[in-house]
Amino acid sequence: MIRRDRLKWDGRYAAEGQHWQKSPPRKLLLAYLDRLPITGLALDAAAGVGVNGLVLARRGLHVVALDISEVGLRLAQQRALAEDLTLETAVYDLAHPWFPPHCFDVVLNFRFLERSTFPMYRRALKPGGWLIFETFIRTPETAADVDFYLLPGELHAAFADWDVVYSEENTAVGGRSRQLKPVAGLVARKPKDGD
Ligand SMILES: C[S@@+](CC[C@H](N)C(=O)[O-])C[C@H]1O[C@@H](n2cnc3c(N)ncnc32)[C@H](O)[C@@H]1O
């Protein structure tokens, strides 16, 4: 599976990487950017070409961008170099995540779902740290793809015991079709006394 996904995404970024790099950062990130810290360590999970992680790097955070696509991460690195920013990148399979406890100040997870990351994000964020998450919800057309689409209410439920700053299910332009698709968005802070 991972090999097939890697080839798929490498191929996409090789063919359309410039297009992806010109995409604006996710609106949910921009909406909360002013409230995020200006120092510390951030994770951009499934970073692609790094558009969102680079927003945090410009803000002053030290950003680790992880993805299975080396092609995508190379494009992210090139952009970082061109702007004289530091961006750590690593080819990493988030289907088998492991992060040290209490290491990130911010975690971004956009347009990607791997449920095994949920307990890892819970553990790896520092108390008071920010999780910003947005991805697609299952529709009748995508019902067979249980692994890649959230159930309604699922994202909120996974972090309902955190300080939820924003939680909504609405629509956003998605994928290559550029059609409006249902998404769930969450901005939540790990409680100060969270473990
Ligand atoms: C729709 S793109 C989202 C990219 C970026 N987060 C954004 O919002 O534009 C999904 C990304 O997930 C990555 N991906 C897919 N499976 C992965 C896995 N198992 N581990 C890490 N990254 C993965 C792909 O390579 C691709 O870059």
What is residue 114's predicted lDDT score, i.e. its pLDDT?
Answer: 97
Ligand 1 centre and the CA of 47: distance in Å? 6
Q: What is the DSSP string of 116-173?
A: THHHHHHHHEEEEEEEEEEEEBP-GGGTT-TTTSBPTTHHHHHTTTSEEEEEEEEEEE
Residue 47: which of 111, 97, 96 has the closest Cα? 111
* CA of 9, closest atom in ligand 1: 25
126-184 pLDDT, tens digit per residue, is 999 999 999 999 988 887 788 899 999 999 999 999 999 999 999 988 766 778 999 99
Residue 99: other Cβ atoms inside 10 A: 18
pLDDT band of 1, cuts 50, 70, 90: low
pLDDT band of 38, cuts 50, 70, 90: very high
What is residue 150's predicted lDDT score, i.e. its pLDDT?
Answer: 96
Both tokens of residue 45? 């999970």
Do residues 78 and 9 touch, judged by C-beta distance below 8 A?
A: no
- Domains along the chain? 2-189 (3.40.50.150)
- Which residue's entry shows tokens 């972090």? 159
Both tokens of residue 186? 């969450």
What is residue 2's predicted lDDT score, i.e. its pLDDT?
Answer: 83
* CA of 175, closest atom in ligand 1: 1
Residue 119: other Cβ atoms inside 10 A: 11
Neighbouring residues of 184: CB distance < 8 A, sequence distance ≥ 6: 133, 134, 135, 136, 137, 150, 152, 154, 155, 156, 167, 168, 169
185 vs 140, which has greater pLDDT? Answer: 185
63-117 pLDDT, tens digit per residue, is 999 999 999 999 999 999 999 999 999 999 999 999 999 999 999 999 999 999 9
Q: Does residue 95 line the site of ligand 1, with CB under 6 A? A: yes
Distance (Å, whole) CA 83 – CA 104: 23
Both tokens of residue 65? 């961008």
pLDDT band of 28, cuts 50, 70, 90: very high
Ligand 1 centre and the CA of 67: distance in Å? 6
Q: Tell me the HSE value of 17 on the side-chain side, using a 13 A CA sphere.
A: 22
4-19 pLDDT, tens digit per residue, is 999 999 999 999 998 9
Both tokens of residue 115? 């449920």
Whether the pLDDT of residue 194 is over 90: the answer is no
DSSP state of 36: S
Both tokens of residue 38? 């200006």
Helix (H) or strand (E) holding 106: strand 104-110
Whether the pLDDT of residue 42 is over 70: the answer is yes
Do residues 40 and 105 touch, judged by C-beta distance below 8 A?
A: yes
- Which residue's entry shows tokens 């289907």? 95
Ligand 1 centre and the CA of 193: distance in Å? 31
* CA of 51, closest atom in ligand 1: 9
